[in-house]
Chain A
Amino acid sequence: MCVCVCVCVCVCVCVCVCVCVCVCVCVHFYLNCNNMKYMRSPPTPEMATQEVPLNETLAHLKTESETLKSKLEEERAKLHDVELHQVAEKVEGLGQFVMKTRRTLKGHGNKVLCMDWCKDKRRIVSSSQDGKVIVWDAFTTNKEHAVTMPCTWVMACAYAPSGCAVACGGLDNKCSVYPLSLDKNENLAAKKKSVAMHTNYLSACSFTNSDMQILTSSGDGTCALWDVESGQLLQSFHGHAADVLCLDLAPSETGNTFVSGGCDKKANVWDMRSGQCIQSFETHESDINSVRYYPSGDAFASGSDDATCRLYDLRADREVAIYSKDSIIFGVSSVDFSLSGRLLFGGYNDYTINVWDVLKGTRVSILFGHENRVSTLRVSPDGTAFCTGSWDHTLRIWA
């Protein structure tokens, strides 16, 4: 709606000879419907006022939100002067790729849902649908600890940086920390410490730089940062419109941000100190099952039920690559980068692992072996191998 107000000022000066000076000042007041500024003052009696019913205001807000979003996409596109694969043309292509299963870890009685590596580069913790959490020395394939959680569907597990504890949770809506006792006879469950409390299932958890803080994401649409010692909530992160399914901490110098992905198809970057969402990306067509930072911390990759993996650059503030293929039909459950960030590994719901050349955008290799969905995938801390967990009850180490 454009409101045009014309103000005409006529100045007449009569000096001997009549000189009329007319000054017309036209002042246009714009109310730009595409960029309504809430700073404008309430409607004055001169302007047409209407009684706006409540649902019309909602519709206006929705339209404004959508137009702002497209304007944002336009702005983002302005600085996008080149595609990643074009820049990567000068890079040498990757040769034949051979990776095999080097270890198979059998012991879970049901679907494996999550796993994490220990900093010692050989131990892992894994959790499954039947409530079992197992700590393995993946190199020898020996089981070192086992805990039975009081709930099923343990969808999240994490190894503490010190290697002395593991955290896990799932349908119990909680995240609990278990110190790893060296006494084989001691019942680990006895020393369990309840840390996080959500109002819906726990989808992911991760220790921050120490054993003292845990970051969690939940089906209740929020993420939260907890103090392990006291169980106190340090910060909560609101902004997702549906279940949050995954998170990853940034490897940055200041170590203050993390990214989360959810069922609302959004990937959000958060400031851990303030709880604010500092960046948001919404280009996937379905639930985002996994997010992982590029090793430099300047970008992150996501894997979704829409069968694509995507790369988002934080400085360019946009999606910069899509990793997809016609023949890949099933969703991605988890992604991770190789140490140099050149390769992106994706675990898929069609039981396979696809290996992508991050720079050129091409699929380098497809790995077969699992007999059911690949539900989790992590590269080891020193990049010598990666581990996958599957609904076929096993974990595999690939190198």
Chain B
Amino acid sequence: MTINTLAKGGCHREQMACFRKMEKVIVAMQDPDMGMKMRNQRLLITVIPHAMTGHDIIAWLTHKYRISEEESLHLGNMLVKYGYIYPLKEPRCLVLRPDESPYRFQTPYFWTSTRWPASELDYAIYLAKKNIRKQGELMEYEKERYSLLHKRINHTWDFVVMQAREQLRASKQRRKADRIVLECQEQAYWLINRPPPGVNNVLDTGLERPNNFSCRVTLNSDYYKREIEACRKALGRNRVKSSICLEGFLKYSEQYLNHDPIMQGCLPSNPWISDDTAHWTMNAEIVPVPTRLRVERWSFSFMELLNDAMGRREFMTYLEKEFSAENLYFWQACEDIRHGESSKIVEKVEDIYKNFLAPGAARWVNIDSKTMDKTLEGIKRPHRFVMDDAQMHIYFLMKKDSYPRYLKSDLYKNMLAKAIVPQETKKSVFPFMRRQRHSSPSPAQTATQAAEEEGLAKGAGANSAAGSHF
């Protein structure tokens, strides 16, 4: 598949957007009032007018966009890389130097966006001109491309040479300063549109996205009818006031602030910074004593508690005490159906019925009659989502009833009191020693081992949940 084919007339949408924005910056830079102050620059014995130094460019960008010098340098570099500004001193090196090096604006005639895409014919003429002018002093890669082009468009070669000669003749009639400028401009254009090997091609935009509406979805009456239907549905939606929703973000960010390592750091230290994996060890899936932050997090929401293996285990213990553990077992079994293999659905649904729903079942769950009837009806034709209503009912039952009581219970309070708060390890404790970065067992390895152990414990025909299924 040909990547990045740009047909004449067609253009890459993303590039165009960036070019337009860069051009706005360039135009602003050349504004007579607010733009840059330009002066004459000497190049050997010639004086080039309307030039500026790298330093000037950076200062202007810093002032205009209120950004740091580092960022201005980066932005300015982009402008040079894309050919809007070119260097006079080392023309082949398209880099913005933060010093007195002279630069000039590229003429709009030679903007990449103006002459898009660069044509082979033009490139051939350019190389031919260079060849004639400097008596065959093309660079290696240019020589290669020249001969390639010669082969490819051999039929129009006379035209190419004739054009090259014409253009050279016309340029001889210009002043030396103008001639140099034009040569520089043209060279800069080709350095970008036909970069030398080894240099990043800034015009490379990766895989072409054929955003051709007509070949994806036909904008016919069916399409618009669907859009209209979707709009009407959306119009009927219940919406919440912004003030309420947005407060939610503030609350959430505040609540989780201490848990966000990038914002507040983490204890004892961030493993990526200190090379010490203590933080991970202390927060492993199952530990003898969890950290305080972790236990606190269980109180943020019911989902947080259930998502943490230890939290779930603790909650199960609590429910056992309250004789309502069947709810959590039921919920887990339903989750297993929803996310498990398609082939096991029927079998699992039967198990659930036997253990949780059938009259006199060992772990009978208390669901309202309406949901129960609907579920029992659905079981006759079991599918992945048949337990959804019942599962939802039990989930909210636990969330509204058992969960708040768990948080007030001694079990939770003791856990919180026992929980450890790690000591911060300052990086300076190990100033000269570079810690050894130890590898950890791959999850694939631990999973297989666990599966093996489970298999051994249960005997033949074990259903290992964690082991490989392939």
Which residues from chain A contact B271 at a C-beta distance below 8 Å?
122, 139, 384
Q: Which of A65, A255, A350, A391 contacts B231 (CB 8 A)?
A: A65
Interface of B is mostly: helix
Q: Is the CB of A315 within 8 A of B245?
A: yes
Q: Is the CB of A81 within 8 A of B243?
A: yes
A8–B55 CA distance with the chains assembled, in angstroms: 85
Which residues from chain A contact B246 at a C-beta distance below 8 Å?
82, 84, 87-88, 313, 316, 320
A307–B14 CA distance with the chains assembled, in angstroms: 10
Q: Which of A24-32, A40-48, A72-80 contacts B (4 or more CB under 8 A)?
A: A72-80
Per-residue contact bits, chain A 279-297, to B (CB 8 Å; 1 contact, 0 not):
1100001110000001110
Q: Is the CB of B230 within 8 A of A342?
A: no
Q: Is the CB of B18 within 8 A of A72?
A: no
A12–B112 CA distance with the chains assembled, in angstroms: 85
Q: Does B213 contact A (CB under 8 A)?
A: yes
* Residues of A within 8 A of B (CB-CB), count: 132
In B159-185, which residues have CB < 8 Å from any A CB? none
Q: Does B154 contact A (CB under 8 A)?
A: no
Q: Does A397 contact B (CB under 8 A)?
A: yes
Per-residue contact bits, chain B 23-38, to A (CB 8 Å; 1 contact, 0 not):
0010000000000000
Range class of the B interface residue count: 35 or more
Q: Does B434 contact A (CB under 8 A)?
A: no
In B7-55, which residues have CB < 8 Å from any A CB? 13-14, 17-18, 21-22, 25
Which residues from chain A contact B266 at a C-beta distance below 8 Å?
384
Q: A242-B217, A341-B253 are in contact. Are A182 and B445 (CB under 8 A)?
A: yes
Which residues from chain A contact B74 at a C-beta distance below 8 Å?
350-352, 368
Which residues from chain A contact B65 at a C-beta distance below 8 Å?
325-327
Q: Does B223 contact A (CB under 8 A)?
A: yes
In B311-348, which residues have CB < 8 Å from any A CB? 335, 338-343
Q: A99-B262, A316-B241, A341-B253 are in contact. Are A273 and B385 (CB under 8 A)?
A: yes
Nearest residue in B to A99 (C-beta to C-beta)? Answer: B262
Q: A298-B248, A329-B25, A339-B262 are in contact. Are A72 and B227 (CB under 8 A)?
A: no
Q: Which of B67, B219, B245 contacts A327 (CB 8 A)?
A: B67
In A10-43, which residues have CB < 8 Å from any B CB? none
Q: Does A221 contact B (CB under 8 A)?
A: yes
Q: Is the CB of A341 within 8 A of B256?
A: yes
Q: Does B438 contact A (CB under 8 A)?
A: yes
Q: Does A191 contact B (CB under 8 A)?
A: yes
Nearest residue in B to A103 (C-beta to C-beta)? Answer: B272
Q: Is the CB of A287 within 8 A of B13?
A: yes
Q: Which of B132-140, B273-281, B415-423 contacts A (4 or more CB under 8 A)?
A: B273-281
Q: Is the CB of A279 within 8 A of B234?
A: yes
CB of B362 to closest CB in A, whole Å: 26
Of the candidates A232, A325, A339, the one having the most CB atoms from chain B within 10 angstroms of its own CB is A339
A255–B334 CA distance with the chains assembled, in angstroms: 13
A-B contact pairs, 28 of them (CB 8 A): A64-B228, A122-B280, A122-B440, A140-B439, A153-B207, A164-B447, A165-B444, A165-B468, A220-B216, A227-B342, A232-B342, A234-B384, A239-B226, A241-B213, A279-B237, A286-B13, A295-B256, A327-B65, A327-B75, A331-B17, A339-B262, A340-B255, A341-B249, A341-B253, A366-B70, A371-B200, A384-B262, A399-B270
By a beta-carbon cutoff of 8 Å, the part of chain A in contact with chain B is: 57-58, 61-62, 64-65, 68-69, 71-72, 75-76, 79-84, 87-88, 91, 94, 99, 102-103, 111, 118-123, 137, 139-142, 144, 153, 155, 162-165, 171, 177, 179-182, 191, 193, 201, 208-213, 219-221, 227-230, 232, 234, 239-243, 245, 251, 253-255, 263-264, 273, 277, 279-280, 285-287, 294-296, 298-299, 305-307, 313, 315-318, 320, 325-327, 329-331, 338-343, 349-352, 358-359, 366, 368, 371-372, 379, 382-386, 391, 397, 399
The 9 lowest CB-CB distance pairs between A and B, nearest first, are A163-B443, A340-B256, A340-B260, A210-B339, A399-B272, A61-B224, A68-B231, A327-B65, A315-B240
By a beta-carbon cutoff of 8 Å, the part of chain B in contact with chain A is: 1, 3, 13-14, 17-18, 21-22, 25, 61, 65, 67-68, 70-71, 74-75, 78, 200, 206-207, 209-211, 213, 216-217, 219-221, 223-228, 230-232, 234-235, 237, 239-250, 252-257, 259-263, 266, 270-273, 277, 279-280, 283, 302-303, 335, 338-343, 384-385, 388, 392, 395, 437-440, 442-445, 447-448, 466-470
